[in-house]
Amino acid sequence: MNFRVHVLGCGSALPTLKHWPSSQVVEVRNKIFMIDCGEGTQIQLRRAHVHLISIQAIFISHLHGDHCFGLIGLICTFGMLGRTAPLHIYAPPELEGMLNAQINMFCQGLEYEVIFHAVNTTESQIVYEDKSLTVSTIPLDHRTPCCGYLFREKPTLPHIRRDMIDFLGIPVSQINNIKMGAGWTTEEGRVYSHEELVTPPTPARSYAYCSDTRYLPGLHKLLTNVDLLYHESTYCEDKKDNAHKYFHSTAREAAKVAKEAHVGKLLLGHYSARYNDEQLLLKEAREVFSESYLSKENEAYDV
Amino acid sequence: MNFRVHVLGCGSALPTLKHWPSSQVVEVRNKIFMIDCGEGTQIQLRRAHVHLISIQAIFISHLHGDHCFGLIGLICTFGMLGRTAPLHIYAPPELEGMLNAQINMFCQGLEYEVIFHAVNTTESQIVYEDKSLTVSTIPLDHRTPCCGYLFREKPTLPHIRRDMIDFLGIPVSQINNIKMGAGWTTEEGRVYSHEELVTPPTPARSYAYCSDTRYLPGLHKLLTNVDLLYHESTYCEDKKDNAHKYFHSTAREAAKVAKEAHVGKLLLGHYSARYNDEQLLLKEAREVFSESYLSKENEAYDV
């Protein structure tokens, strides 16, 4: 089953010709979510050939323009495209009043509901849950209340061994019981254990989005063993003072978090407009954590 | 002296991969103005290599998202770029409260002033004036209060004939008097008329922006003899019903206005996302008014 991150924008606040402001689409088992929604996100969505109105929820990390100015345009466009399914928005509470005022002014007569969920950015809490997935907040340290989001698949059941089912003539009605842990006893009284009838489940996968934030020494505890981590890396170490001053991270710091958390892969992003050559950021990160990669607009990354 | 229109976006409300929402930059004698500011305008400005913080005023036609959702992002970016000069915004009055709320939420600590000027969209009035230019509103007929803008150079003084000045030894101190209408009498008593000392002034030029609007039968009276007219042409005649229903114009109707007003050239724009081939719109317009042209993103048009 798919679990994939499409990067729509991985630049920072100042517009450049190379990058778009922050936005990602996360596809998990055919459900589509968005994280952050900077200006122009709906244009980037067209490029990514994502089916716009399939997006069921949008998670906003914080209320800086490069992470949320595309929201109202996207909401209007959903309306023009005839959306009827509710749209869930998870964001710091201060956004709700502004968003309602914008909708009243610019999108009268929407035929779908926009449901606002205020998130507490100071604690790690599950904010979304369905039968296969949870999304939790990750408290971050930025100039304004800010949290990341952790997408974690729920553990799945083991796989049935089709060969054993056929060999033993086990009826279809019993398969779910076996997946849940039961064994099987033949008419002759021979007992087959649960473990003989299944193979282990596909490991549950996880993706964490951490932007924007200063280096946070305890952050890795919330990220232990995630398969893919996107961690902002606005600067190189040469601008560590800027990173500290503006509550951002360097590429080395992002890699340090990745290493401390034993993640599978690290995606760098939220690049400052000052860097023409992002290989500098990558080089710095790889010195600490070899499985570091540069995120790029219009690329998709499997978790 | 330059008088030029840069088209940043000439699409309509639905985002496409071909067009950006409405925005134009008008350069008049080294002063830089903007008309409309759809989402992504600041990105398009980077492409146009316009010096962002030189924009001294922004004129908003109406409060639909594809004409104003880029405004708050641009205001924030001006702040990050260290702008100190005031920014004047001319728009329907309802925008003021929303814009102030957005600035308070997203751009605290701006080091320049945003000065809001409410425009009356129901009358033609001069809303901006300096020594070389006036900008007037053009009442339009859309689903929400809407006006176009007419940029008109003020008549200039005649050109001094340098050969005559040199021949007669007229002191520099007298040149302005002569430009203003005076003649010259030599020491010998020979009288030279004003007309002998000057050549006619460069004709004053004018540019009119009309978007969004239904075909307006009396509109041409406000546009008589303008050098360049941008008139929305959302649809072809095959969708004339849509044009009427949504308060837009067909290409033929835009051309009709251009012809009635005896304008120099017509620029078509605000294309519906339904047209893959805008030549259809152009063909239709040229059947009525031969000096019709398609506007394109990232192109500049001399007035």
Q: Do residues A190 and A279 both lie within one domain?
A: no
Smallest Cβ distance to A80: which of B13, B40, B45?
B13
Give the span between the Cα atoms of B100 and B72, in whole angstroms.
10
What single-letter amino acid sits at B90? Y
Q: What is the pLDDT of residue B192?
A: 94
Write down which residue in A199, A229, A252 finishes a domain.
A199
Q: Could you tell me if B243 and B250 are in contact, meaning their C-beta atoms sit under 8 angstroms apart? A: yes
Q: Does A93 touch chain B (CB under 8 A)?
A: no
Reported as a single tens digit per residue, the pLDDT across B116-175 is: 999 999 999 999 999 999 999 999 999 999 999 999 999 989 999 999 999 999 999 999
Is A66 a catalytic site residue?
yes
A246: tokens are 């503006």
Q: Do residues A169 and A20 both lie within one domain?
A: no
Could you list the beta-strand ranges (E) of B140-275. Answer: 147-153, 159-160, 184-185, 191-192, 198-199, 206-210, 228-232, 265-269
**Positions of chain A with pLDDT under 70:** none
Smallest Cβ distance to A16: which of B39, B46, B69?
B46
Q: Do residues B223 and B112 both lie within one domain?
A: yes
The values of phi and psi at residue A294, to 5°, are -85, 130
Average pLDDT score over residue span B92-116: 96
- Interface contact A94-B73, CB threshold 8 A: no
SS3 B197: helix
Q: Which residues pair with B160 in a beta bridge?
A: B198
Q: Does A298 touch chain B (CB under 8 A)?
A: no
CATH number at residue B53: 3.60.15.10
Smallest Cβ distance to B16: which of A46, A63, A73?
A46
Residues on chain B touching A80 (C-beta within 8 angstroms): 13-14
Which residues, 6 or more positions from B290, have their beta carbon under 8 angstroms from its beta carbon? none
Nearest-Cα distance to chain B for A43, in Å, is 6
Give the span between the Cα atoms of B223 and B258, in whole angstroms.
8
| pLDDT-based confidence at residue B239 (cuts at 50, 70, 90) | very high
Residues on chain B touching A102 (C-beta within 8 angstroms): 98
What single-letter amino acid sits at A72? I
Provide the domain count of chain B.
Answer: 2
Q: Does the predicted model carry a pTM greater than 0.90?
A: yes
- Interface contact A72-B80, CB threshold 8 A: no
Q: What is the pLDDT of residue A15?
A: 85
- Interface contact A15-B106, CB threshold 8 A: no
Q: Do residues A74 and A96 both lie within one domain?
A: yes
Q: Do residues A129 and A194 both lie within one domain?
A: no
Q: What is the pLDDT of residue A108?
A: 86
A142: tokens are 């930025």
- Interface contact A69-B73, CB threshold 8 A: yes
Q: Do residues B179 and B218 both lie within one domain?
A: no
The values of phi and psi at residue B300, to 5°, are -115, 145
A43, A62, A102, best to mutate vs chain B, most B CBs in 10 Å: A43
What single-letter amino acid sits at B134? T
Q: Does A20 touch chain B (CB under 8 A)?
A: yes
- Interface contact A77-B102, CB threshold 8 A: no
Q: What is the DSSP letter of B29?
A: T
Whole-complex ipTM:
0.91
Q: Do residues B77 and B137 both lie within one domain?
A: yes
- Interface contact B15-A43, CB threshold 8 A: yes
| pLDDT-based confidence at residue B93 (cuts at 50, 70, 90) | very high
- Interface contact A15-B46, CB threshold 8 A: yes
Residues on chain A touching B39 (C-beta within 8 angstroms): 39-40, 42-43, 69-70, 73
Residues on chain A touching B8 (C-beta within 8 angstroms): none
Residues on chain B touching A40 (C-beta within 8 angstroms): 39-40, 43
Element (H, E) at B114: strand B114-118
DSSP string across chain A:
--EEEEEEE-B-SS--SS---SEEEEEETTEEEEEEE-TTHHHHHHHTT--GGGEEEEE---S-HHHHTTHHHHHHHHHHTT--S-EEEEE-TTHHHHHHHHHHHH-TT-SS-EEEEE--TTS--EEEE-SSEEEEEEE---SS--EEEEEEEPPPPPEE-HHHHHHHT--GGGHHHHHHT--EE-TT--EE-HHHHEEPPPPP-EEEEE-S----TTTHHHHTT-SEEEEE--B-GGGHHHHHHTT--BHHHHHHHHHHTT-SEEEEE-B-TT-S-THHHHHHHHTT-TTEEE--TTEEEE-
Reported as a single tens digit per residue, the pLDDT across B174-189 is: 999 999 999 999 999 9
Reported as a single tens digit per residue, the pLDDT across B257-292 is: 999 999 999 999 999 999 988 999 999 999 999 999
Q: Do residues A120 and A39 both lie within one domain?
A: yes
Q: Do residues A187 and A208 both lie within one domain?
A: no
Residues on chain B touching A93 (C-beta within 8 angstroms): none
Q: Do residues A192 and A220 both lie within one domain?
A: no
Reported as a single tens digit per residue, the pLDDT across A217-252 is: 999 999 999 999 999 999 999 999 999 999 999 999
Neighbours of B273 (CB within 10 A): 16
Q: Could you tell me if A158 and A201 are in contact, meaning their C-beta atoms sit under 8 angstroms apart? A: yes
Smallest Cβ distance to A105: which of B16, B72, B98?
B98
What single-letter amino acid sits at B85? A
Q: What is the pLDDT of residue B103?
A: 97
Q: What is the pLDDT of residue A53?
A: 81
Residues on chain B touching A83 (C-beta within 8 angstroms): none
Reported as a single tens digit per residue, the pLDDT across B31-75 is: 999 999 999 999 999 988 888 889 999 999 999 999 999 999 999
Q: Do residues A113 and A148 both lie within one domain?
A: yes
Q: Does A40 touch chain B (CB under 8 A)?
A: yes
Reported as a single tens digit per residue, the pLDDT across A139-183 is: 999 999 999 999 999 998 999 999 999 999 999 999 999 999 999
A217: tokens are 């020494």
Q: Does A126 touch chain B (CB under 8 A)?
A: no
Give the span between the Cα atoms of A212 and A90, in whole angstroms.
16
What single-letter amino acid sits at A292? S
- Which residue's structure tokens are 């021949």? B167
Q: Could you tell me if A34 and A19 are in contact, meaning their C-beta atoms sit under 8 angstroms apart? A: no
**To the nearest whole number, what is the mean pLDDT of chain B?**
95
Name the catalytic one among B66, B166, B212, B238: B66
The domain containing residue A164 runs over which residues?
159-199
Q: Does B79 touch chain A (CB under 8 A)?
A: no
Q: Do residues A166 and A212 both lie within one domain?
A: no
Q: What is the pLDDT of residue B299?
A: 95
The values of phi and psi at residue B27, to 5°, are -100, 120
What single-letter amino acid sits at A285? A
Q: What is the pLDDT of residue B48?
A: 86
